[in-house]
Structure 1
Amino acid sequence: MLRTLIAALSLACLAAPASAQEWSPTEQIAAETLYQMLPGPNEGETREVFFWRPPNASDGPLPVLYMADGFAGLEVAVSRIRPAIIEGRARPIVVVAMAANPEYRRVEYALGRRDSPIWEAHFAWFTNTVLPWAEIHAGASTERSQRGVGGMSNGADFAIAAASRRPDLFSAVLAHSPVNDLRSWFRSEPDTRWVLTAGQSERAGAVALLSSRIAIAIGDRPLRQCIGLWHHDMSGWRNVSPGSVAWLFDLADPHAVEIPQERESCRVRNDG
């Protein structure tokens, strides 16, 4: 397995801690996260791909969640569920996250209503380069039932579009605060699990309203929807991730790993 130590994290500037006990959750995750520069979706370009694999995980493939937005996306997914995994209260998972190109992020992530060559090139890179690399080097499962895709904001738009475009690849979707109406693109297998989250304070309630519309479009697929009082920011997304990730992959009873904000704001429909 590839073990290239992280030299720098573009989205987290971390000072060396005095002791392991004083590390913040982000620092601990950064120390456990590895990355590799891969050929990017555009000619002559390279992109960082990060992955976190629990230090207590045994060898062999693990369920995998692919996240948009590089280390930031990885940290959102891992930070609140990590203690339960490390303590053995939840099964391990590998999280793989692809760095975004700031110049093209929105058009790479948000498919919209028309064909987009930039979106298609990025999606082809994701499926044809990132997935095979992660399966070889990060121990990511090759099984659809153990593979999910997620993101925040436009990254959530990408997760929805990716799972809809290739429902044969992904059985789980973590969509934190999608901001574009992608209902016309929905394709989903009956067993695909969806997590939709939205803060009522995001864009004066517009994001929560869109989330409710997407929930209707998902139909009778298994859905965990979280709507509560948070803003369009990392803190809110972290706080509705642990139970959601556990539910998506059946890593643990979600009630055993979720935090109070999830208990107050998350409801499951048609658990399958």
Structure 2
Amino acid sequence: MPYLACLATPTTKAESPAYERGGRIGRRGDTLDFRWRGAASAVRVEGAYGNYGFALNRIGANEWAASVRVPNLAALVERFAFVATNADGKVVRETMHFNGPAASPPTPERGAIEAFTLESRHLSQSRQVNVWLPPGHSASQRYPVVYIADGAAEFGNELLAAMQAGRLPAMVVVGIEADQAARFAEYVDFPKREGIPSDPARFAAHERFFVDEVLPWAESKFGAANEPGSRSVAGFSNGADWAAAMALRHPGLFGRAIVMSPIMVVEYAIPDAPSTRFELSGGALEPPFALATACFAQRLHAKGGTVKLRWWPHTHAPVQWRAAFLAALLDEPSATLPDAHACDRFPADPL
């Protein structure tokens, strides 16, 4: 599984005397070295956004270490948290940033984002929808459109430089907010099951809100495209599960699905020869999501679907999804699809 991070044997070389206590992150080629100095009974490193973590090994009286090999480490921008537990149970948490030498700087350009409140007859409540509009937008024109989960219309800012360079056409990004108390239920196409907060009726109501209310509203008010070749649906995490479900359930509506770090898609039913093009992505430092992505990619391919898969060095974090969003729309080079055993590995944790 060359796309996943894996633990490596840490070096025990002494650190600089200037390093008194707390955490330290170093880089050696494709390997991150994590160090902690100070009294503790246990030390872990976690991704700042969760879904990734491992224990450091004690290599001295008050020194702890672990090393992790990360594919494409030079492009990584990430926040890590050292979590040290003392003998008395007190927890010390220290967050540190890592910026790889090849990491892309944040895009400074910004488009216009407007927030709207729609009254939904299907949800029987109001719901916020955020819309990103390109410079010079005119509602009298038709624009390619991306519908994205979690109200993340600001992802349009990642596209602006490419639009200005002529690599992408001007487009509209529509972000659909979920009810945060029922996000899983609205985004994941899953039957009722003990221990899982799924609700097929709530999912169906949100689906109808999106298809019957949001799409025609965006098309009439902002000139969003009304033909599948110019419509995309996107999301990350459970929002990726939603994007995949919309593409599978409505293949005549969406030409492309940008599915970033999904998790529940491993149990989705896939029809033969799905017509939507799937752009999948996952991070080396989010093992359960990366394995679910690999499995879904293989299952789509086996059913005759068009699939592109990209790997990133990140944890389950927005920096990954912003990069993946742009790469999908630019149709950047993709990775080799996993073999037929991809689903055998889920949900094993390789770390």
Write out per-residue CA displacement over residues 125-162 of structure 1, whole angstroms, 9 at most, x where no aligned residue.
00000000000011111101111111010000000111
Whole-angstrom CA distance in 2 between matches of 1:35 and 1:187 = 36
Query: Which of residues 226, 230, 241 is equivalent to 2:310?
Result: 226
Shift of 1:171: 1.4
Whole-angstrom CA distance in 2 between matches of 1:157 and 1:140 = 23
Q: In structure 2, give the amino acid aligned to 1:61.
A: R
**Residue matched to 1:146:** 230
**Residue matched to 1:251:** none
**Residue matched to 2:130:** 50
Matched ranges for 1:108-147 at <5 A? 108-113=186-191, 116-147=200-231
CA 63–236 in structure 1, closer or farther in 2 if over 3 Å, else same: same
Q: In structure 1, give the amino acid aligned to 2:113.
A: T
Kindly tell me the number of residue pairs found equivalent between the two proteins: 222
Whole-angstrom CA distance in 1 between matches of 2:335 and 2:297 = 12
Whole-angstrom CA distance in 2 between matches of 1:42 and 1:162 = 17
Matched ranges for 1:147-162 at <5 A? 147-162=231-246
Shift of 1:191: 4.2
Normalising by structure 1, what TM-score? Answer: 0.75
Q: In structure 1, give the amino acid aligned to 2:175.
A: A
Write out per-residue CA displacement over residues 156-209 of structure 1, whole angstroms, 9 at most, x where no aligned residue.
00001111111111111001100113543223755421111111211xx12111
Matched ranges for 1:64-83 at <5 A? 64-70=145-151, 73-76=152-155, 78-83=156-161
**Residue matched to 1:13:** none
Where in structure 1 are there 5+ consecutive unaligned residues? 1-23, 248-253, 255-262
Whole-angstrom CA distance in 1 between matches of 2:168 and 2:161 = 9
- Please state whether the residue corresponding to 1:224 is helix, strand or coil: strand
Q: In structure 1, give the amino acid aligned to 2:241.
A: D
2:291 is aligned with 1:213: no
CA 130–268 in structure 1, closer or farther in 2 if over 3 Å, else same: farther
Matched ranges for 1:1-272 at <5 A? 25=107, 28-29=110-111, 32-40=112-120, 41-43=122-124, 45-57=125-137, 59-70=140-151, 73-76=152-155, 78-113=156-191, 116-187=200-271, 191-202=275-286, 205-219=287-301, 220-247=304-331, 254=332, 266-267=334-335
Aligned-residue RMSD, C-alpha:
2.2
Which has more radius of gyration? 2
Q: In structure 1, give the amino acid aligned to 2:309.
A: Q
- Please state whether the residue corresponding to 2:314 is helix, strand or coil: coil
Write out per-residue CA displacement over residues 61-116 of structure 1, whole angstroms, 9 at most, x where no aligned residue.
1111100100xx2223x232211113433211111111111111111001124570
CA 214–50 in structure 1, closer or farther in 2 if over 3 Å, else same: same
Where in structure 2 are there 5+ consecutive unaligned residues? 1-105, 193-198, 338-351
**169-178 or 83-92, which moves further after superposition?**
83-92
Normalising by structure 2, what TM-score? Answer: 0.59
Q: In structure 2, give the amino acid aligned to 1:171.
A: G
Q: Structure 1 or 2: larger helix share?
A: 1
Identity %: 30
CA 92–268 in structure 1, closer or farther in 2 if over 3 Å, else same: farther
**Residue matched to 2:23:** none
- Please state whether the residue corresponding to 2:262 is helix, strand or coil: coil
CA 48–25 in structure 1, closer or farther in 2 if over 3 Å, else same: farther
